[in-house]
Structure 1
Amino acid sequence: MDIIAYHDFHNIRLSDFYNGPDYREVENYDFMGEQWVGELSGFNTFLRLTSEPEATKSISLDFTKDEQGITGKVLEVLHLPIKTACSESDLVALLGEPYKKLRLAKDTVTMDYIIGEQHTYYLSCTLHLVNGLMYLDIMNEEKVIKKLKSKEKKKKEA
């Protein structure tokens, strides 16, 4: 599956979709072991590495509080055909088996993927077993993807 090209992903900003009262810009934001700058609205985050402050590398979306309709618009721009009410089986049908699956609670599952043929992205989807997609993280930061792949490889070897 191919989705948005890197150069287009790098230009996406939260302010393209939302500029409401809880919108704010942040600096020195710690996420996935890296330091970022970016934009936030609740748990929706659009982040750029402090070393590359012009290029969005990570987007997190909160589907649980989407009164502004941000999530659907962002998925459309990303060319990511995930539906907000998708189930675990819907994700597997669309993306295949995840490379990692984690259950932190009885009623939720997090499924991690490396997607894209021409442009590779880390994609993590947290689903509620009844209500569907709750959170989504998508990232094209190479160092983070390599760290994640390395951790998973070590687990499989152990």
Structure 2
Amino acid sequence: MSFLFGKRKTPAELLRENKRMLNRSIREIERERQGLQAQEKKLITEIKKTAKEGQQMGAVKVMAKDLIRTRHQITKFYQLKSQLQGVSHKSERERQREREREITDLATMQGAWSSACGGGTPGAGRGAPGAGCGRARARDRRRGWRRKPVRARDRRRGRQRKP
């Protein structure tokens, strides 16, 4: 609904925003994971201290279970971070592919313009042998068609036989 009250965002702007959100989420996950690792170290020292005293074994058992939960959360954060990085890399790859597509389209358009304007082989005018971008030849080759052979008389006169 943002397009009703303001201008519509371009795909490049949307991609930039999404990339920003992904990077922000990755940083937040990394901070939380580091906090959990600090908590894990504190728990380990506390478990050792309480176990040395030897009187509160029930408390040690509860802390050990909490330590296991913390370790599971840390591994989940690692998985979540790698998934977000995968999404980020995938969007970057798609962006690269789109750029390549634009470049090839631009090159194809330039080739079409040059052949339509009499390009092709140097010195060949429009409709002369060798003019054109060769798409028809490639298409015919894919379809298995062959050009009919040019007779010697026609070759001398500069004509080509129609297929």
Does the pair score TM above 0.5?
no
Calculate the TM-score normalised by the size of structure 2: 0.19
Comparing both structures, which one devotes a greater share of its residues to helix? Answer: 2
Comparing both structures, which one devotes a greater share of its residues to strand? Answer: 1
Structure number, greater radius of gyration: 2
Q: Which has the higher contact order (CA 8 A, sep 6+)?
A: 1
